[in-house]
Chains A and B, each alone.
Chain A
Amino acid sequence: MRNSRAKEISMEVTVGAFMFMVLLVLAVFTIVLSTQNIFKEYYEFEVIFQEVMGIRPGDNVLVRGVEVGKVKGLHLEEDGVHVITSLESNIRLRKDYKIEILPSSVLGGKILVVYEGEDAEYLPENKPVYGAKPVDLIDEASHVIAEIRTALDEGGILENLEVTMKQFKEVTGNLSQGKGTLGKLLTDDAVYNDIKGISKNLKTVSQKLVGGEGTLAKLLNDGEVYDDLKNVMDNLSTVSQRVADGKGTLARLLAEDDTLYINLVDASEAIKDITTTINKGEGTLGKLAKDDELYVEVTKLLSEVRATVDDFRETAPITTFTSIFFGAF
């Protein structure tokens, strides 16, 4: 009797313990699957959409790419679909906020994405929050395909493509046959040889430059050239400084004072007058320049002077002797 009672108690304890453990696991399962921490505070956040594209309770809510909660429920009202979310942290929207429903993957599913905005001013607490019209990937893809089809059918893209391909084929044919400059570049070895020669020459030049041969190499390697150039630059600097200071003729010519310029203008005008007078054959110089008679006279005079000098030269010893001889008396 006692054994029977003990067995019965043992059976009851076993069944009770098993059921307790499984019920405990069930409770944990329930909490885990509800993905809500019962000890954590959640914030309710409502958004009004005109269209929700099939978002469902349990879909994720993302703020700046971080999952912060889930869609708790949604109900249809006159002003749109009210989507109620449960968030782990309270969010404050700014004036330029944006809330939209996006596909979570290509295979389907939706997420509610919240951009808080960057405006300095926050949205008032009690103001209703509106979401943007969601983007339907399939609808967008259909639209794009329709546009491509229209462009292909009506825009003559296929014809253009056909012509282009024909031309491309022709070009590649010419290239393979070595026609044209590009074809020769691809097929003719002479170009390669030329390039090889050029590179060889460049190599020689560079070697000479490195070796310090020639003017260019000296320019690159010799410090004296640099010193000379520096001196030249110093001199130019001195000159420009003198010009700037108004020293010397050039500076005066460049100076703001117009006196020298006016003088030069006057002088050039006077010279112009003189040359005009000369050209007209007026005055002594004009006549010298223009009158042939004076030239003839002068030539004649010079001939006579020469004759006179010659005569004097011939008679000079006799005259000298005579004067000496008669001088003694």
Chain B
Amino acid sequence: MGNKNRLNIGFTLAVFIIFKNFCFSQTILSGNVSDSIGAISSASIVLKDNVSQSIQTYSYSDINGNYQIKTNLQGSFNLVFSSMGYQSKTKRIFIDKEKKEIITPIVLIEKPYFLNEVIIKSPEAILVKKDTIVFNAAIFSNGTEQTVEELLKKIPGLEIDNEGTIKVGNKEIEKLMVDGDDLFEKGYKILSKNMPAYPIKEIEVLENYSNNRLLKNIEESDKVALNLKLKDDAKHIWFGTIEASLGNDNFYELKSNLMNFGKKNKYYFFTNLNTIGFDATGDINNLIRPFRLNEPASIGDNQSIRTLLNLSPNNLNFKRSRTNFNNAELVSLNAIFNPTEKLKIKTLGFFNWDENNFFRNSIDIVNTDNANFINTEQYKLRNKKVIAFGKLDIIYNYSKTKMLEATTKYNFGDFNDSSNLVFNGVSTMESLKHQNTLVDQKINYTNKFKDKNVFLLTGRFIHEKTPQHYSLNQFFYSDLFPSASTANNVAQKGDLQMDFLGVNAHLLNRKKSGSLLELQIGNTFRKDKLLSTFSILEDDLVLEQPNGYQNNTTYLVNDLYVKSKYRLKVNNFGIIGQLAVHQLFNSLENNNISDSQSPFYINPSIGFDWEINDKNKITSSYSYNTTNAKVIDVFSDFVLTGFRSFEKGTGSFNQLDASSFVINYQLGNWSDRFFANTFVIYSKNYDFFSTNTQIDKNVTQTEKILISDREFINVNSKLDYYFKFISSNLKLDLAYTKTEFKNSVNGSSLRQVNSNNYHLGLEVRSGFKGVFNFHLGTKWMTTEIETTVKNSFTDNISFLDLTFLFSKAFDVQVQSERYYFGNLLNDNTYYFLDFDARYRLIENKLTLGITGKNLFNTKTFRNFNISDIGSSSTEYRLLPRFVLLKMEYRF
């Protein structure tokens, strides 16, 4: 009708039309937008539906004010022109298929615009849960690792040492969790050495970790924990591995894991049977008796029995598995149940049977002012043990701010140790049968009564008992007991018992400024009994139970204490001040002679930490400590501690005072090209327990004496530098340790002993992307001991590891080591070669492998040691070369 009339073409304005041939139903709307002055660019032109007023299509005017809209729509529309600062204009248009083009020029009228601020209420729709999840770079294996321990070794900043201790930076981790649940606490080696790596998706390194969730952000924690997050398809299903390895000469290993990690319940069962020297439990003691420093509610953790007589292999700077002739069986059953939202029950149990053999031959040279002799010994040790351990944890979260935890532990170990030795040509047999029984109960109540205030109340009871029976089929002590002329064997029955009861109340108050105030009040009571009966026998007849060699000691220590700690935080600087006040009550009864005392002492400590900037951090502290003597320091008569050694304590009370000072400087971060970490530790013991030793060819008698002034200083620096052009990293490790103390030998006056240790280590590790990679290192260690005579030696350990990743399915690793002992005249260099080849036959299901250890078949290994009384050269027997064929099946 009058539609056509609606369209007017203005001739004061330029009209600019583009005409293209589209399908007949498309219409072009174009025109020009201007104001009284000229063209308006970036004006908005929209085509609105007549009815709904919603925009169907749109355009903006260009720099000349021209616009163009192409549309297939037909019907009645509104063309709306708007631009900021102008009044909008609307033009009715009607599009039909006849019109190919509708030209609408428009002139807009300016509209004065005032400052206008509109506040819009934010919508409630989005839930913001502070439930954050890890956002770490996902760390994947390169496929060669089999257990979690090997996978963890791939995380930078994590160090795994020879025995499987996992440290982040310099700190050992608290625990290794699986999906947030912890099974083993500090006994995590059981998990890391046995659990397979393939179900793990991510590994979180949690720093500033709090074991107690209510203490998070309140306690000052530099603790670290690891959390293994599992792949989704590894949850709620039973999965596991079986690995069987068989080799020459009865060397074998059989490992199996069975696990099910669900949200409510987690189960982990594993077994390990092997004769290849591998200790599947890592260090069982970390599980049975975990030690946590500065951990709230850890009262009683540091209480344990130290036995005096042990038949055990030496600790060598060497892979323990090379000298461990074993036959081990381990079964472990572990579970975590979450029956209700608030309740968590953890159960853990393991049984371990092991038979370890150890062989060594040694030549001991004693060379002091008043004793000079040489002893030779050929020693074969067999340890048989059966250990059963059970732990039950119940955690009840009765509200968001209150928690109750109860832990019960039971340990029973039965040990049968025997040794067969030839001492200076005399054939000798020792036998030590002992048991260890431990019952440990802890209850802890935590109440977070305000947002930044927490109160903990802890109670602990421990009972431990270690009876021992030792017998020796020779009599070497005729000089000490001239009356026993017909004696031909000795025996000692010993019993150590400990009962501990402790209560601790702990208040933490975190201030707004970030400063932390801690207050603790508690009381600990410990009763130790030390019984030893030494008998000299002729065959089965007891000839004598000599005086001075029998102990019936009861030692009671009650400590009532108040500890306070304040950490002041100012920006990047923190100062910590601590004060501990102790009132002790000691009672000692030695063979019916009793005594008591009530010492009182104060231990202060002060320190600071300063994060100068992102690259420089420094911490330092000084503390003054008093340590009360333990039962093994205070017993009065001699105890047999080996086939030719006796030891006795001071027979009286003692408190030992010491000062220590630490400073640590860190430059850079581990992920930078350059990183350096330096420590200086100095400590001075104002009094300490030294020894007065009577050394004879056949027997040594050591008496603990109280001496003043022992000093110790250690300077240690580690540097890392990454060379980009060779894609390799250089590590430099320097350390210096100096110790000065005094002791007495064979009734001499106190003589000064100075010991100096120097250590230099270098490592180069490549990071090539291809098939081949190497890791090369060398370490020099020099030890010097000076009394009236100066003795020193230098050793060197070097290694070269090669990794070949031929394909995703096939890889080979070669490890070689070289040991050099400076003081041995001959046989002073040893080489070892191990290799491991794996082939994944069926991806994620079946893997075949060959492992060879000690391929150069080095049968014995000698090392050299010096002490303040002489030197010794010892030869150890090693597991001979063996090759194993392995098969691993995953399900």
**Are A and B associated in one complex?**
no
